[in-house]
C-alpha cells in the first residue's frame, strides 16, 4: 500500500431500500457518504436510531451492497464479507452449542494462514485478553450477557481481521457492565491496534471510545459533523476521563447536535406516517 | 400459590413427582378399564380385561411368531423413514439457503403435502404392487413432503446473524451449512424427526391393512376377521409400546447431546 492510499476509504456511498409492502415509498437510508479511516483508528458512528449508520457499517463489512459508491480496504475494493472484516452484533451471536473456548476457537476455524497448534494458541490468547479464562469450559448460555459479548469479541479477533465492525455491541447490557466493557475495549484496542468502526446512539459511549466521531443526520444519513476527540479531550482515556471537564463539554456539544437530529427524524416520521417502516437500525427489516 | 406446587401455573416440579404422577395415571387407567370390563358395562367380547390382552400378546409372540411381524413392520418403518430423512434434510436445508430453490420446490411440495395418503394407497399399489416397494412408497409419501418443509423451517429459524458471522469468519456457504446451520437447527430437527417417525407408524398400519401378508397391521386386520378382540388390541398395544420406547430413546439422545439447552 503506498503512502497515499488510506487504510479504509468510503467513497460516495448511497443506499436505498425497496419497501416490502406495496404502496410504500422506497427508503433512502444513506446519501453520498465519504470518509477515510487510518489503520488503528477507532471511529464511532453516532446517530439517531434507524438513521442508516448500521447499514453503512454493513456495507463496509460487505454484508450489504451500496447502490452507488465504493469501499476500499487497504486499496482493495470490498465486494463481499470475508475474514478481513470482523463483525460483532448487538444480539448475542456466540454459539450456544459451543463452550466459551470453543466459540473463540471457532474464530480460527477457517484460517489458512496458521496451523492447528497456532490456532489453539491464538484462541487461548484472546480468551485471556477478554478475561474469561475461568469460564473457558462453560456453555455460553450459562454466562452473563456481558461475558457473551466478550466471547463474541474474542471470537472475531481470533479470526485475525484487519478491521472490527461493531454494531451497538453493548446496547443490550446494563449500565455498569457497559462501562466496564467500554473500558475493556479501549484496553484491547491499545494492545491489538486494529481499526474499529463502532456504531452507537449513546453519546457518552461515543465520546469515551472514539478517536473520531462521525455524527449522522436523520435518514437519509449524511455526516453532519466530524469530531477528532483528542482535539477536545487530551490525554489517555481511562475511567476518570468521564469525570473531566473537557469530556463534559464535548459530551454536551455532541448531545446538542444529536438532539436536533432526533427532532428531525421524529418530524419526518410523523409526516410520512411510516412510524415503523425501515425498523431499528435501518438494516433490520429491509436488509435481506 | 407456591411455585413449587404441582398445580402452580407453569410451576416448577421435580422429576420424581412427575414420575409418580405418570405411573399413578397409568394404573388409574388400567383400573378404570378393568372395572368397565369386569362389571360388564361393556361386554368382554368387545372390551376384554387388560390381562387377557397381555395374555393374547404373549400367545401371539410364542405361538404365532408375532415377533417376526413386528420385525417386518419395524424394518419397513425405519427403512422408509431413513429414506425420507436422507432426502428431506439436504433438500430442506437447500430450500432455506436459496430463494430460487424454494421458489421452485415449495408449490409442488405444498400441493403433494395436501394429498391424503390413504387416497394414494390404491395408486401406489397399482404402481408398485403389494410388495415392500409399495409400503415404502406409502410411508415416503406420508412423511417426506411434510418433513422437507419442517426442515426448511428449522433452517430458516437459524438467526441471520449466525450466518453473517460465518461469512465474516471466512467460511464458505458449504461450511456455513455444515458448521453453523445444521448444528444450530439440530435440536429442533431431532424433535421434528421424532414426530415424523410417529406418523410412519400410522401409515404403516394403513398400508399393511390394505395390502400385505405380514406385519403388525396385517396381523391386526386378520385377527379382526375372527373377532379376536384381545389379539387385535394386543397388536395395537405393540405399536404403542414401540412408539413409547422410540420416543424415550430420542429424549435420551436429546439430553445427552444437547446439554447446553
pLDDT tier, A269 (very low <50, low <70, confident <90, very high otherwise): low
Residue A169's closest CA among A85, A90, A56?
Answer: A90
pLDDT value at residue A280? 39
Q: Are residues B105 and B8 in the same domain?
A: no
Say whether pLDDT at A23 is over 80.
no
Within a domain: B85: yes
Q: Are residues B65 and B43 in the same domain?
A: no
Q: How many domains does chain A have?
A: 1
Q: Looking at CA atoms only, how far is residue A196 from chain B in angstroms?
A: 15
Q: Are residues B41 and B149 in the same domain?
A: no
Name residue, grid cell 444519513: A221
Average pLDDT over every residue of A100-128: 94
Question: A109 — contact with chain B (CB < 8 Å)?
Answer: yes
pLDDT digits (tens, 9 = 90+) for B7-63: 788 877 777 888 899 999 999 999 999 999 999 899 988 999 999 999 999 999 999
pLDDT tier, A285 (very low <50, low <70, confident <90, very high otherwise): very low
Q: Looking at CA atoms only, how far is residue A93 from chain B in angstroms?
A: 6
pLDDT value at residue A243? 85
Q: Are residues B99 and B210 in the same domain?
A: yes
Within a domain: B164: yes
Q: Are residues B26 and B63 in the same domain?
A: no
| CATH classification at residue B118 | 1.10.3720.10
| CATH classification at residue A279 | 3.40.50.300
Q: What is the full DSSP assignment across A199-235?
A: EES-HHHHHHH-SEEEEEPSSSB-EEEEEEGGGTS-S
Calculate what percentage of chain A has a pLDDT beyond 70: 89
Computed on alpha carbons and rounded to an integer, the radius of gyration of chain B in Å comes to: 23
Question: A141 — contact with chain B (CB < 8 Å)?
Answer: yes
Alpha carbon distance A30, A216 (integer Å): 10
pLDDT tier, A266 (very low <50, low <70, confident <90, very high otherwise): low
The DSSP bridge partners found for residue A163 are A85, A195
More confident residue, B261 or A288: B261
pLDDT tier, A2 (very low <50, low <70, confident <90, very high otherwise): low
Which has the minimum average pLDDT: A17-31, A61-75, B135-149? A17-31
Q: Are residues B208 and B126 in the same domain?
A: yes
Structural domain including B15 reads 1-47
Within a domain: A17: yes
A-chain residues within 8 Å CB-CB of B168? 61, 63, 81-83, 85-87, 156, 159, 161, 165
Q: Are residues B38 and B141 in the same domain?
A: no
Within a domain: A113: no
pLDDT value at residue B254? 87
Q: Are residues B250 and B166 in the same domain?
A: yes
Within a domain: A43: yes
Within a domain: B9: yes
Within a domain: A103: no
Structural domain including A282 reads 1-84+198-288
Within a domain: B52: no
Within a domain: A53: yes
Within a domain: A168: no
Q: Could you say which residues of chain B have pLDDT below 50?
A: none
Computed over every residue of chain A, the mean pLDDT equals: 86
Q: Are residues B162 and B188 in the same domain?
A: yes
pLDDT value at residue A271? 61
Within a domain: B175: yes
Q: How many domains does chain B have?
A: 2
Q: Are residues B43 and B66 in the same domain?
A: no
Question: A162 — contact with chain B (CB < 8 Å)?
Answer: no
Q: Are residues B8 and B67 in the same domain?
A: no
Q: Are residues B12 and B78 in the same domain?
A: no
pLDDT value at residue A245? 87
Within a domain: A152: no
Calculate what percentage of chain B has a pLDDT beyond 90: 72
Under a CB-based contact definition with an 8 Å cutoff, are residues B234 and B60 in contact?
yes
pLDDT value at residue A21? 66
Within a domain: B229: yes
Alpha carbon distance B111, B114 (integer Å): 6
Alpha carbon distance B226, B45 (integer Å): 12
pLDDT value at residue B11? 76
Amino acid at each position: 500500500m503506498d503512502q497515499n492510499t488510506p487504510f479504509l476509504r468510503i467513497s460516495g456511498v448511497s443506499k436505498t431500500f425497496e419497501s416490502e409492502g406495496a404502496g410504500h415509498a422506497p427508503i433512502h437510508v444513506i446519501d453520498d457518504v465519504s470518509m477515510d479511516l487510518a489503520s488503528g483508528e477507532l471511529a464511532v458512528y453516532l446517530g439517531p436510531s434507524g438513521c442508516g449508520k448500521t447499514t453503512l457499517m454493513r456495507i463496509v463489512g460487505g454484508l450489504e451492497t451500496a447502490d452507488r459508491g465504493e469501499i476500499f480496504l487497504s486499496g482493495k475494493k470490498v465486494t463481499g464479507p470475508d475474514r478481513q472484516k470482523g463483525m460483532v452484533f448487538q444480539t448475542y451471536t456466540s454459539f450456544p452449542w459451543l463452550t466459551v473456548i470453543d466459540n473463540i476457537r471457532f474464530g480460527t476455524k477457517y484460517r489458512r494462514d496458521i496451523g492447528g497448534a497456532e490456532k489453539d494458541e491464538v484462541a487461548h490468547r484472546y480468551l485471556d485478553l477478554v478475561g474469561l479464562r475461568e469460564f473457558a469450559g462453560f456453555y455460553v448460555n450459562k454466562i452473563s450477557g456481558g461475558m457473551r459479548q466478550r466471547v463474541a469479541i474474542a471470537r472475531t479477533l481470533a479470526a485475525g481481521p484487519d478491521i472490527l465492525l461493531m454494531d451497538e455491541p453493548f446496547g443490550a447490557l446494563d449500565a455498569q457492565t457497559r462501562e466496564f466493557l467500554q473500558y475493556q475495549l479501549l484496553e484491547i484496542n491499545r494492545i491489538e491496534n486494529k481499526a474499529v468502526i463502532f456504531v452507537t446512539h449513546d453519546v457518552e459511549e461515543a465520546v469515551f471510545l472514539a478517536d473520531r466521531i462521525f455524527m449522522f443526520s436523520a435518514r437519509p444519513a449524511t455526516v453532519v459533523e466530524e469530531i477528532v476527540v483528542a482535539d477536545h479531550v487530551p490525554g489517555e482515556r481511562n475511567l476518570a476521563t468521564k469525570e473531566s471537564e473537557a469530556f463534559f463539554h464535548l459530551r454536551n456539544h455532541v448531545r446538542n447536535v444529536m438532539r436536533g437530529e432526533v427532532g428531525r427524524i421524529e418530524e419526518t416520521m410523523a409526516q410520512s406516517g411510516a412510524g415503523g417502516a425501515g425498523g431499528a437500525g435501518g438494516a433490520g427489516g429491509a436488509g435481506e | 400459590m407456591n411455585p413449587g406446587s404441582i398445580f402452580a401455573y407453569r410451576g416448577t416440579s421435580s422429576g420424581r413427582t412427575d414420575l409418580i404422577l405418570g405411573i399413578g395415571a397409568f394404573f388409574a387407567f388400567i383400573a378404570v378399564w378393568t372395572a368397565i370390563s369386569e362389571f360388564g358395562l361393556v361386554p368382554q367380547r368387545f372390551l376384554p380385561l387388560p390381562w387377557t390382552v397381555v395374555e393374547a400378546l404373549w400367545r401371539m409372540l410364542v405361538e404365532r411368531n408375532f415377533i417376526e411381524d413386528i420385525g417386518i413392520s419395524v424394518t419397513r418403518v425405519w427403512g422408509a423413514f431413513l429414506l425420507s430423512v436422507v432426502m428431506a434434510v439436504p433438500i430442506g436445508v437447500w430450500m432455506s439457503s436459496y430463494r430460487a430453490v424454494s421458489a421452485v420446490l415449495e408449490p409442488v411440495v405444498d400441493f403433494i403435502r395436501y394429498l391424503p395418503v390413504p387416497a394414494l394407497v390404491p395408486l401406489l399399489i397399482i404402481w408398485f404392487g403389494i410388495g415392500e416397494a409399495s409400503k415404502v412408497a406409502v410411508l415416503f409419501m406420508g412423511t417426506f413432503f411434510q418433513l422437507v418443509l419442517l426442515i426448511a423451517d428449522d433452517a430458516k429459524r437459524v438467526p441471520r446473524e449466525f450466518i453473517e458471522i460465518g461469512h465474516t469468519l471466512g467460511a464458505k456457504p458449504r461450511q456455513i451449512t455444515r458448521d453453523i446451520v445444521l448444528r444450530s437447527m439440530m435440536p429442533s430437527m431431532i424433535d421434528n424427526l421424532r414426530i415424523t417417525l410417529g406418523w410412519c407408524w400410522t401409515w404403516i398400519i394403513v398400508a399393511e391393512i390394505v395390502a400385505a401378508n405380514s406385519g403388525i397391521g396385517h396381523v391386526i386386520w386378520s385377527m379382526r376377521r375372527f373377532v379376536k378382540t384381545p389379539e387385535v388390541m394386543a397388536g395395537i398395544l405393540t405399536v404403542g409400546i414401540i412408539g413409547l420406547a422410540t420416543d424415550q430413546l430420542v429424549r435420551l439422545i436429546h439430553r445427552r447431546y444437547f446439554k447446553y439447552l
